[in-house]
Amino acid sequence: MTSGVDLNDLKKRMDGAITALKSEFGGLRTGRASASLVEPIDVDAYGSKMPMNQVGTISVPEPRMISIQVWDKGLVAATEKAIRESGLGINPVVDGQNVRIPIPPLTEERRLELTKVAAKYAEQARVAVRNVRQDGMTQAKTAEGGEDEQKRLHDEVQKLTDDYVKKVDEALAAKEEEIMQV
């Protein structure tokens, strides 16, 4: 854009930071079973890495159980191995072509550890939002229309940034509450 700031573009980029944050939060274990816990795990299948949801159907039959119905019998062992090596601290149980994953309750120490990880993810999202803000401020400086117009654009970009940082903080507070819930 030659004059002014493309606020829609800035909003879209800040929305991307929020979406990425929520995706990372989905992978954090909260003591409750969730399909998003195992979806990012890659399985060695057919000579390449495949996401978990492409080797089987992921379901949550109980609050503390994840079930993966593996479509190909030959991939059951690879699926089990990928889950064990994922670093999530969960142990799958193989039952034919079904891989069941019981989710043990979290210890207080592990809960505190997870809140720190969540805070780190939130800070990365805040940095991403601030980087978009910086681009917006640069665009505002080079905008046509004099000092008053530039000041108005600066204020709009700052207000947008404040709104998105608040969204990050709200998402973090909700995730911390979910993690600390016994």
The pLDDT of residue 29 is 67
pLDDT of residue 104: 80
State both tokens at 94.
């193989």
The helix/strand/coil state of 135 is helix
57 and 89, same domain (yes or no) = yes
**Domain at 60, CATH number:** 3.30.1360.40
Note the pLDDT of residue 2: 41
Number of domains making up the chain: 2
- pLDDT value of position 101: 92
Low-confidence ranges of the chain (pLDDT < 50): 1-2
- Global model pTM greater than 0.85: no
Same domain, 93 and 123: no
> Which CATH number does the domain housing residue 147 bear?
1.10.132.20
Mark which of 102, 128, 150 sits at the end of a domain.
102
Largest interatomic CA distance in the chain:
71
Domain boundary among 71, 102, 133: 102
Q: Which domain holds residue 76?
A: 35-102
Are 48 and 97 members of one domain? yes
Residues with Cβ within 8 Å of residue 181, at least 6 apart in sequence: 30, 31
From 77, 102, 127, give the residue that closes a domain: 102
